[in-house]
Amino acid sequence: MKKSGLKVVKIGGKLIENENKFRGFLEDFSALEGPKILVHGGGNFATEMALKLGYKTKMIDGRRITDENALKVIIMTYGGLINKSIVAKLQTKNCNAIGLCGADGKSIISKRREVKEIDFGFVGDIEEVNAKFIGSLLEQNIIPVFSAISCTKEGELLNTNGDSVAAEIAKAMSTHYKTSLYYCFEKKGVLANAADDDSIIEKIDKNKYKELLEKNVISDGMLPKLHNCFQALDHGVSNIYLGNASIFQDNSQHTKITQ
């Protein structure tokens, strides 16, 4: 029998950068009852830090190329400054949080992405999530806060897509918990018209998803996000929601992903 509902929440970098919205999100997240896990990115902050250190960020089709210098910056910003700042803020709200990356407790094991048309560099594709270790933290009422960094079996840290980290954790934990996955970012949900922030698509099932793809309504970063959503549903995750910082509030508008 599965344990009571677990909430796995991914928060995007743009929300973290907005001080007022981020403060409100942390208030709402802290108030959530039951076991919960937070996953965060921080791409823009890493880009700014790289510039200050004299490194230029390389992007192809909106995706970061992680060379050796970029990886160092990502580890410092994601795993250090951003992660520990979030943990400290949660502690002030009576949330006993712990900051983690994939190397901690062998929690997220990956392999370096194979080079095909593009060499993404030090980027990880997740192979395994240590659900037993993560579950042991939840049983002690500890809230894991994961940065988007995974680790190979050989001990190499790798930049990893934060949406994928959240989806893979949710999939792994759904064996033991009734699990809900939340993607929290700057928009109110999946939009029918990218120029209209109020054109929220309230429900997307597989048929609707196919229709949106055919009409090119979904593009850029939303493509891998929704792909992760349906993969998660197919692997035991119970509920998936996409929305902005108010996603946990009763009157929230958002998108729900269904079979």
Could you give the angle at the alpha carbon of 214 between the alpha carbons of 208 and 219, nearest 5°? 90
Average pLDDT over residues 220-239: 88
What pLDDT, on a 0 to 100 scale, did the predictor assign at position 61? Answer: 61
Q: Sign of dihedral through CA atoms 171, 258, 227, 122?
A: negative
For the chain, the first-to-last Cα distance in angstroms comes to 22
Q: What is the pTM of this model?
A: 0.94
Residue 38 predicted with pLDDT over 70: yes
Residue pLDDT, tens place only, 78-99: 999 999 999 999 999 999 999 9
User: Which residues, including other chains, have CB under 8 Å from residue 95's CB and lie 6 or more apart?
Assistant: 29, 30, 143
Q: What is the pLDDT of residue 220?
A: 72
46, 74 contact by CB (below 8 A):
yes
Residue-wise pLDDT for 243-256, tens only, equals 998 899 888 899 99
- List strands edge to edge, sheet with 203-204: 97-100, 143-147, 36-40, 3-11, 177-184, 239-243, 255-257, 203-204
Give CA–CA dist 86/256, Å, rounded: 26
Lookup: tokens for 55:
């490194």
Phi, psi torsion values for 12, nearest 5 degrees:
-80, 160
Taking 90 as the threshold, does the pLDDT of residue 215 lie above it? no
d(CA 181, CA 200): 18
Please give the residue that has the higher pLDDT: either 3 or 180. 180
Share of the chain above pLDDT 70, in %: 99
pLDDT score recorded for residue 105: 97
CB 180 within 8 A of CB 237: yes
Q: What is the pLDDT of residue 51?
A: 85
Could you give the CA distance from residue 159 to residue 165 in angstroms, rounded to a whole number?
11
Higher pLDDT, 34 or 60: 34
Give the CATH superfamily of 3-187+240-248. Acetylglutamate kinase-like (3.40.1160.10)
pLDDT in tens, 52-70: 888 888 877 667 789 999 9
Percent helix, strand, coil in the chain, to 5, is 40, 25, 35
pLDDT in tens, 124-145: 999 999 999 999 999 999 999 9
